């Protein structure tokens, strides 16, 4: 009781009054957030997550709770350094995440030899990951993400044979992934994104991490080829290798991942030009649960294969923008009827926009801008009634804007600029109640500006420049 009261005395602010029951007239085992063992009146758990408590964590108070199994102070505003908790030898779970703690991770945590879950994420911790963490042989979850940790990943982590979750993302860690880490056959989630890690991945990664389900390596400096053996880790659900320096072909072996739901390979130097180098796309058709596919910002070239229309019927995001794609948009892309975002912008696509794209009636964001597309805007695009964002700018489109555009009642942005569109500015555009940005500039629109545009109460940007408009509002 005295230890808990000392902890309470160090609290600077308790806005929810969660500690109001902490007084000598109430048995401490009935205090908010306190749990005791059944046989002995010893505190076994202290759970005060998400209470906006402020203050510093005193080692003297917490360190005297020697029967603690669980300490969860996450989601508060505690500051200062992590206290030395070396006397908590029965501790199984330590969660100090989402606070304002700083300083280094104390080496004395290694004395908590029974620790199974350690979460210090979303703080301001600095310095290196202590080598001694590798001595916590019972550790299954290690989460140190969203701090300012630096240095290398200690190879000693490879000794944690029970580790299933390792998240070190959003830090300043550099160097290579230690080879010892690839001996962790129990690992299911590996999160290392947003660091400065580099070098290539091992070619035999399938044998090293057979139970891996989530692989986050985005925004680092990895290079070389994507290992083909990645396709043999049958439990993989999620792969994020974006914003690195990967090059070469995308391995078609990824098509063997029957559980794959998320594949993010954008912002690399991946290549495809010949039909053979596009085999990966037809292979991905076997990934029937795939919902997210981003290959944007790479060096993919040539025509988009017709196999794109055979991708998972569950696909919701397809991002192929900012590549070197040419040729026509395959009409069977209209088969992907669960798509909510389609982005083919900043390529060299040509020909007409296939009307079949009007079948994608769940689309929220549709971007075909900065291509060489020609022909009319298909009136069937008016069926895309969930659209919030429609950008067809910087192409060679001609003809009039179809009146069916007025059906897009959810539209917030409409960009048709830098085309060869003609006729009058449709009066029906004034019936789009949520429109905030309307850009019709650099076209051949004539006649008067329709007064119906005054109905666009949400409009914050209107550009009608470089047309042939004349007269007063009509």
CB < 8 Å & 24+ apart, contacts of 370-373: 370/345, 370/346, 370/394, 370/395, 371/344, 371/345, 371/346, 371/347, 371/395, 372/348, 372/396, 373/329, 373/349, 373/397
The model's pTM is: 0.94
Q: Is the dihedral of CA 409, 411, 417, 420 positive or negative?
A: negative
- Given this chain, do its domains 200-312 and 328-474 carry the same CATH topology? yes
Output the pLDDT for position 275. Answer: 86
pLDDT, position 183:
85
Q: What is the mean pLDDT of residues 457-462?
A: 96
Predicted pLDDT at 204: 82
Q: What are the sequence ranges of the domains in the chain?
A: 200-312, 328-474
Domain 328-474: CATH superfamily, name plus number: Ribonuclease Inhibitor (3.80.10.10)
- How much is the pLDDT for 136? 95
Q: Is the pLDDT score of 474 beyond 70?
A: no
Per-residue pLDDT tens for 234-283?
999 999 999 999 999 999 999 999 999 999 999 999 999 888 999 999 99
Alpha-carbon distance 104 to 345, whole Å? 45
The confidence score (pLDDT) of residue 131 equals 94
pLDDT score of 194: 98
- Predicted local distance difference test score (pLDDT) of residue 343: 98
Q: What is the pLDDT of residues 149-183, one digit of tens each?
A: 999 999 999 999 999 999 999 999 999 999 999 88
Q: Is residue 52's pLDDT more than 70?
A: yes
pLDDT digits (tens, 9 = 90+) for 300-319: 999 999 999 999 999 999 99
Give residue 94's pLDDT: 97
Give me 269's structure tokens: 């130097």
Return the CATH number of the domain spanning residue range 200-312.
Answer: 3.80.10.10
């Amino acid at each position: 009781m005295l230890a808990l009261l000392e902890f309470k005395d160090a609290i600077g602010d308790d806005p929810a009054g969660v500690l109001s029951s902490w007084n000598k007239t109430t048995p401490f085992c009935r205090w908010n957030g306190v749990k005791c063992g059944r046989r002995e009146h010893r505190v076994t758990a202290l759970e005060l997550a998400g209470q906006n408590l402020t203050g510093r964590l005193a080692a003297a108070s917490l360190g005297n709770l020697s029967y603690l199994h669980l300490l969860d102070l996450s989601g508060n505003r505690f500051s200062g350094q992590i206290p030395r908790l070396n006397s908590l030898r029965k501790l199984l779970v330590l969660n100090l995440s989402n606070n304002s703690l700083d300083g280094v991770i104390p080496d004395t945590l290694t004395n908590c030899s029974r620790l199974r879950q350690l979460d210090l994420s979303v703080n301001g911790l600095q310095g290196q990951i202590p080598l001694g963490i590798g001595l916590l042989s019972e550790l299954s979850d290690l989460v140190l993400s969203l701090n300012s940790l630096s240095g290398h990943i200690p190879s000693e982590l490879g000794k944690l044979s029970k580790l299933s979750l390792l998240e070190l993302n959003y830090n300043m860690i550099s160097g290579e992934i230690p080879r010892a880490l690839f001996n962790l056959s129990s690992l299911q989630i590996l999160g290392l994104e947003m660091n400065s890690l580099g070098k290539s991945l091992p070619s035999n990664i399938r044998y090293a991490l057979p139970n891996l389900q989530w692989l986050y390596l985005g925004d680092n400096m990895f290079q070389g080829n994507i290992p083909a053996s990645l396709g043999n880790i049958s439990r993989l659900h999620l792969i994020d290798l974006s914003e690195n320096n990967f090059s070469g072909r995308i391995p078609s072996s990824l098509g063997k991942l029957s559980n794959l739901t998320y594949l993010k390979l954008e912002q690399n130097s991946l290549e495809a030009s010949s039909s053979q180098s596009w085999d990966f796309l037809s292979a991905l058709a076997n990934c029937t649960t795939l919902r997210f596919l981003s290959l944007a910002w790479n060096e993919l070239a040539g025509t988009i294969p017709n196999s794109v229309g055979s991708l998972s019927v569950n696909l919701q995001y397809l991002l192929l923008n900012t590549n070197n794609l040419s040729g026509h948009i395959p009409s069977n892309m209209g088969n992907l009827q669960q798509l909510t975002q389609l982005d083919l912008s900043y390529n060299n696509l040509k020909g007409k926009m296939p009307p079949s794209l009007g079948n994608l009636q769940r689309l929220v964001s549709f971007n075909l801008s900065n291509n060489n597309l020609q022909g009319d805007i298909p009136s069937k695009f008016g069926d895309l009634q969930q659209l919030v964002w429609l950008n067809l700018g910087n192409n060679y489109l001609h003809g009039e804007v179809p009146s069916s555009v007025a059906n897009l009642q959810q539209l917030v942005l409409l960009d048709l600029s830098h085309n060869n569109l003609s006729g009058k500015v449709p009066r029906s555009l004034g019936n789009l109640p949520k429109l905030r940005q309307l850009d019709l500039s650099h076209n051949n629109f004539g006649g008067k500006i329709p007064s119906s545009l005054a109905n666009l109460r949400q409009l914050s940007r209107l550009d009608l420049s470089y047309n042939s408009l004349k007269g007063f509002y009509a």
